[in-house]
Amino acid sequence: MGSGSSSPQPVARPQAQVLPSPQGQPGQQRRGNFEEVQLQYGQSQATPTHGHQGYGPTHGHQGHGQPRPQAQGAYGHPNHIQGYGNQAQQYGKSNGYVHPEYGASTSSGYGGHAAHQQKHRDDFDDDLDDWIEQKNNQTPSHQAATQQSSAASEEDMILETFHHNDGTEYTVLRQSGHRAYLDWQTQEWVQFPNEWLGQGHFGEQDTLFTEQVQLQTTSDTNGPSTSGTTSGYVTEETASSTPDDDRDGYFDHPLKGRTVITYMFEEKRNVYCYMDDETGYWINMPLMWELHNDYIRRQVHEIQESIPTWTDEIDILASLRQCNYNTEQTVANYLCLGDPNLGAKRWGGGREGQQQLQEKDRQIHALQEQLKQKEREKQSLLQERLALKTEVVEKLEKVAELNEKVLDLEVENNDMHVKLSASHMQMERMKTMTPSSFGRRRHGEIESGFDSQRESSAESMTVVKAPRTPTPEPLPPAGPTVEEETLKALNHSALELDKSYRSLKVIVKDGFSDLQDLTKKAISALGQISEMDSSSGNEVEELRVLYRKEALQRKLLYNQLQELRGNIRVFCRCRRDDRVGGYMQFPNDEDIVVPTGGSKKTFSFDKVFSPASTQEQVFEDTLPIVQSCVDGYNVCILAYGQTGSGKTFTMMGPPDYPGVNIRTIKELLRICNDKETVDYTLKISMVEVYNETLSDLLKEGSIGNATLDIRTMGKKQVITGLTAIEVKTERDITDTMETGFKNRTTAFTKMNAESSRSHLLLMLTVEGHDKISSTTSFGTLMLVDLAGSERISKTEATGQRLVEAAAINKSLTALGQVFQSLRTNALHVPYRNSKLTHLLQPALGGDAKACLFVMVSPDEKNVSESISTLTFGSSARQVSLGKAERNVTKGGKKK
Ligand SMILES: Nc1ncnc2c1ncn2[C@@H]1O[C@H](COP(=O)(O)OP(=O)(O)OP(=O)(O)O)[C@@H](O)[C@H]1O
């Protein structure tokens, strides 16, 4: 889609449908051509002949003279040279062909000027090449020439969108009957092939600008002719008189005793299918199979984590299917249906909703506090457990040590007993012998051996045990006997030693059993702590579930509140200019009154900021959107308006008086830092959209080199090759932005271009990991300073300026179309019609929340641009009011 990089050359186009002759031959394809001619030249009622090739007129053609349901404005954004209103007026007044070159309407008489017609045909062919060359030429002299010729001829230059049947879209420039389309790749204007007229159609009417046409025709004409002018437009009146939307409905609620308004939303439904090899058809996947799909399993688990009581996986999956695989919607439905009053828990909007939201905030806060307290308790229990564990381990080590010692003692004791019994036996034998020198020597030996044994046993336990099982030793040869006194003393000391060993053994045994008791107690305390730990773990888990549920409900509530208020909020700001002003009025903070040609027109917005408003006041109203980003939503703040209306002032602002960008980022950092329970990672990128080319401002040399590309991966949109810098502090952010702006200025100076002719997007991604609920959120914030929305001035009628104007026209028209599609709940939202809208896709529509600032100048000479801007804003605002409007449409009655 889109006419971006793949615009084919006209020569490459299949010629099969080239029309035989511009005259006559009514046919289906020609019909489209004819209607386009009507668009260009008004509602010609009875032009008999008009045959200029290129205009494709077929007189008397079916549809001829019928009120055209679409009008000139359909061709896009009002980015054309002044005179739109006048032109519309001409259409209304004229009953015939109003030639842009030859002046006023000929009122059904144009067909009679055959000679004039022929001349025009010849001139046209001769002029075409010159004209295209002129449009492509970028030299100042050519520009000056164009300016002069334009000024002289007062011709309107109009940018149109041509939709070729092959799906390609072309930006077409039309002036003085010439048509050329822009080849975006070469950025050159190429002659529009006439045969294409039968191979496609020009753009649908852009109702965003209906208001403007009405206004201008009302002020420019004095009378009923306006009805002719606007008969082709779907105006407020015609819209309300159209048949009721059969998707509207209602039913009598059995429990509530009142009527519930319903609406059949047409949405695309995702269906999981598998390829049946036998039949070669895609077949809906059975639920049981689907449960084996990783992606689906993850979704089911996510839901189960939020609602642990919902255990039936098939039931969850069925609901998931119903909700188009949107987990949040599935949970919301469950919570709502869980209510016995069938959704009686409907959140109110306005003050009531705000109060409910605050109540939820309080509950969440209390839960967070409880969780924190529990976490603290758990921590102290864990520490206690750790200390006890260490103690138990130490005690067990001691027990093991003592056990070892006791064992050693036992061994030693046994040795001692053996030796003692040997001594005893020896002594017994010696008693029978006469003391002799041998006996004395032997006795001395025994005594000294005994002493040394005593010492060594005293060293360890000072215990000597009585012999238990004396091992008989072979008797030494009979020798001299020991004195009895000595033997007695020896015996006595042996008995004493044995006694002390026994008492010591008792002490060791007691100590050992005490130690065992202590260890048992420590182990049981450890068990108790573990139990407490697991029960506190359960409690914490329950609290976590409750917290998750409350947080989810808060999010849903917030969303519903936003939905009631509108997911697109539109603010209007009139810039301050002390030299001019005063003609616009600001009766309250929601309306702005613009005097136009004797009458006054009131435009309403979510908030209107007068010239006296401060940057703080402007920022205050964007605050909720920042919170949404932190909660994991895609949000977007855009500034739209003509050059000099204060877009950059509002978005960026001077360093000492910062605008929305800096304040939003500061707030984002504040919220992220305040949330102790969530770890956030912030990344920043800067993108420039200039002449339908994306550039990475944080990469030097990227501008104009088309280094970026938008890709869709699953449900996500990815900009390949885009630099994203992680930022932690405000300083990091301002430094990064400075780099981006420096690159932008350098590149534009090199290209001899102006930055106000490009769109600037500051993109922040916020990834948050909730430590309590273990969930990860991913939000994006886009801050967009759009290119000036003013019409092309005559000085821009050629070369680079004209391409820039076409690019701006294309992207802002696409933005308008996106708003319009969202407003009408269209099945297809044409995000891909321009690089800008493609980039903004995640931030517009769906769950995304957007905030649009329409900026106007207080200078009366800009009134036409201001009205155009305000009209754009009003239409965008209706996107947000779409649902609310339907809510007040009951049974076909419109309030
Ligand atoms: N509310 C305001 N108070 C004071 N000065 C303002 C205000 N809004 C805009 N200005 C001043 O008006 C001038 C033009 O504003 P600004 O550059 O923001 O316009 P713009 O719409 O961004 O233009 P462009 O499309 O060229 O970027 C600047 O000098 C700016 O300081």
868: nearest Cα among 253, 309, 212: 212
Q: What is the DSSP string of 775-829?
A: -EEEEEEEEEEPPP-PPPPGGGSSHHHHHHHHHHHHHHHHHHHHHHHHHTT-S--
Ligand 1 atom at minimum distance from 788 CA: 25
835 and 716 within one domain: yes
Binding residue positions: 641-648
- Single-letter amino acid, residue 442: R
List the residue whose alpha carbon is closest to atom 4 of ligand 1.
576
**Do the domain assignments include residue 14?**
no
**Taking Cα atoms as reference points, which of 812, 524, 521, 780 lies closest to residue 640?**
812
Burial class (CB in 10 A: 0-12, 13-18, 19+), 704: middle
Residues 64 and 125 in one domain: yes
Tokens 């045969």 sit at which residue? 195
Distance 636 CA to ligand 1 centre (A): 21
Q: What is the CATH number of the domain that holds 684?
A: 3.40.850.10
Q: What are φ and ψ of residue 882, in 5° steps?
A: -50, -50
Residue nearest to ligand 1 atom 25, measured at CA = 643
Measured CA to CA, the distance from residue 809 to residue 3 in angstroms comes to: 13
Instruction: Tell me which residue has its CA closest to atom 12 in ligand 1.
Output: 646
In a shared domain, residues 791 and 874:
yes
DSSP secondary structure letters along 681-734: EEEEEEEEEETTEEEETTSTT-TTS---EEEEETTEEEEET---EEE-SHHHHH
Q: Residue 77: what pLDDT?
A: 42
Q: Which pLDDT does position 658 carry in this prediction?
A: 92
**For ligand 1, atom 3: residue with the closest CA:** 576
The pair of three-digit structure tokens given for residue 362, joined into one six-digit string: 């309080």
Residues 871 and 751 in one domain: yes
Task: Judge contact between 571 and 651, C-beta under 8 A.
Answer: no
411 and 490 part of one domain:
yes
Q: Give domain status of residue 3, yes or no.
A: no
Q: How many angstroms does the Cα of residue 654 sit away from the middle of ligand 1?
A: 10
Query: Which residues of the chain are modeled with pLDDT < 70?
Result: 1-128, 131, 135, 137-156, 204-249, 253-258, 260-269, 336-357, 431, 433-482, 551-567, 581, 701-707, 713-715, 750-753, 755, 792-798, 825, 845-847, 879-895
Say how many domains are in the chain.
4
For every residue of 91-154, DSSP letters joined together read: HHH-SS---TTT-S--TT-GGG-HHHHHHHHHHHHHHHHHHHHHHH---HHHHHHHHHHHHHHT
Secondary structure (H, E, C), 184-203: CCCCEEEECCHHHHHHEEEC
Residue 160 φ then ψ, to 5°: -120, 165
Ligand 1 residue neighbourhood (C-beta within 6 Å): 575-576, 641, 643-649, 756, 788, 855
Contacts of 612 (CB under 8 A, 6+ apart): 576
CB-side neighbour CA atoms (13 Å) of 250: 14
Q: Return the pLDDT at 127.
A: 66
CB 867 within 8 A of CB 594: yes
653 found inside a domain? yes
Which atom of ligand 1 is closest in space to residue 615's alpha carbon? Answer: 1
Residue among 608, 617, 649 whose CB has most ligand 1 atoms within 8 A, to mutate: 649
Q: What is the dihedral of CA 803, 808, 810, 812, to 10 degrees?
A: -170
Reading the block at residue 110, the tokens are 């144009």
Instruction: Compute the distance from residue 645 Cα to the ligand 1 centre, in Å.
Output: 6
Q: 16 lies in a domain?
A: no
Indicate the length of the chain as a whole number.
895
Q: How many other C-beta atoms lie within 10 A of the C-beta of residue 344?
A: 11
Give domain status of residue 384, yes or no. yes
Residue 884 and residue 566 in contact, taking contact as beta carbons nearer than 8 Å: yes
**Using CA positions, which residue lies closest to atom 9 of ligand 1?**
646
Tell me the binding residues for ATP: 641-648
Which atom of ligand 1 is nearest the CA belonging to 573?
1
Structure tokens at 494: 């042996």
185/209 same-domain check: yes
Domain boundary among the residues 310, 337, 364 is at 337
Looking at the fold, whether 683 and 824 belong to one and the same domain comes out as: yes
- DSSP state, 363? H
pLDDT of residue 412: 80
Convert 835-856 into a string of H (helix), E (strand) and C (coil): HHHHHHHHHCCCCCEEEEEEEE
Q: Kindly state the tokens that stand for 114.
A: 């055959």
Taking each helix axis from N to C end, the angle separating 140-153 and 114-136, rounded to the nearest 10 degrees, works out to: 150
The pair of structure tokens assigned to 825 is 């709940």
Phi, psi of 683 (to 5 degrees): -130, 145
Q: What's the 871 CA to ligand 1 centre distance in angstroms?
A: 21
Calpha distance 55→41 (Å, rounded)? 9
One-character DSSP codes across 457-473:
HHHHT---PPPSSPPPP
Q: Are strands 716-720 and 709-713 parallel, antiparallel or unpaired?
A: antiparallel
CA of 662 to the centre of ligand 1 (A): 16
* Minimal-distance CA residue to ligand 1 atom 13: 644
Centre of ligand 1 from the C-alpha of residue 478, in Å: 130
Q: What is the C-alpha to C-alpha distance for residues 121 and 104, in angstroms, rounded to an integer?
A: 19
Give which of 262, 323, 204 is closest to 817, Cα–Cα. Answer: 204
Strands (E), 100-218: 157-164, 169-175, 178-183, 188-191, 200-202
Rounded distance, CA 143 to CA 767, Å? Answer: 50
Q: Whose CA is nearest to atom 14 of ligand 1?
A: 644
> Cβ(710)–Cβ(717) under 8 Å?
yes
Model ipTM value: 0.97
Residues 35 and 176 in one domain: yes
Whether the Cβ atoms of residue 753 and residue 800 lie closer than 8 Å to each other: yes
| Closest among 634, 637, 664, 638 to 848, alpha carbons compared | 634
The two tokens of residue 500 are 């002390």
Q: Cite the beta strand spans of 51-177 per DSSP E.
A: 157-164, 169-175
Interatomic CA distance for residues 337 and 357, integer angstroms: 20
Q: Does residue 393 share a domain with residue 304?
A: no
Structural domain for 324, as ranges: 257-337
Q: Which atom of ligand 1 is nearest to the CA of 785?
A: 22
The SS3 call for residue 432 is coil
Task: Categorise residue 798: left if φ over 0, alpha if ψ from -120 to 50, beta otherwise.
Answer: beta
CB atoms inside a 10 Å sphere around CB 739: 17
Query: In this structure, which residue's CA is closest to atom 27 in ligand 1?
Result: 756
User: What pLDDT shows up at residue 476?
Assistant: 54
Choose one of 308, 337, 366: the last residue of a domain.
337
Select from 575, 647, 866 the residue to mutate for testing ligand 1; criterion: most ligand atoms less than 8 Å from CB: 575
Residue 887 belongs to a domain: no
pLDDT at 391: 81
Asked whether residue 554 is domain-assigned, the answer is: no
- Is there a contact between 59 and 47 (Cβ–Cβ < 8 Å)? yes
Q: Does residue 431 lie in a domain region?
A: yes
C-alpha separations of 416 from 330, 402, 428, 488 in Å: 84, 20, 18, 19
Distance CA 238, CA 236 (A): 6
Burial 528-561 (b: 16+ CB within 10 A, else e): ebeeeeeebeeebeebbbebbbbbbbbbbbbbbb
CA of 209 to the centre of ligand 1 (A): 25
Distance of CA 302 to the CA centre of its chain: 19
Residues 595, 524 share a domain: no
Task: Let me know whether 722 and 862 are in one domain.
Answer: yes
Last residue of a domain, one of 478, 512, 546: 546
Residue nearest to atom 15 of ligand 1 (CA): 646
Burial (CB count within 10 angstroms: exposed 0-12, middle 13-18, buried 19+), residue 147? middle
pLDDT of res. 560 = 59
Question: Cβ(68)–Cβ(152) under 8 Å?
Answer: no
Q: Is the CA virtual torsion 859, 860, 865, 867 positive or negative?
A: positive
Tokens of 482: 């020991």
Question: Which ligand 1 atom is at minimum distance from the Cα of 787?
Answer: 25
Please check whether residues 70 and 114 belong to one and the same domain: yes
Task: Determine the distance separating the centroid of ligand 1 and the alpha carbon of 679, expressed in angstroms.
Answer: 37
Centre of ligand 1 to C-alpha 653, Å, is 8
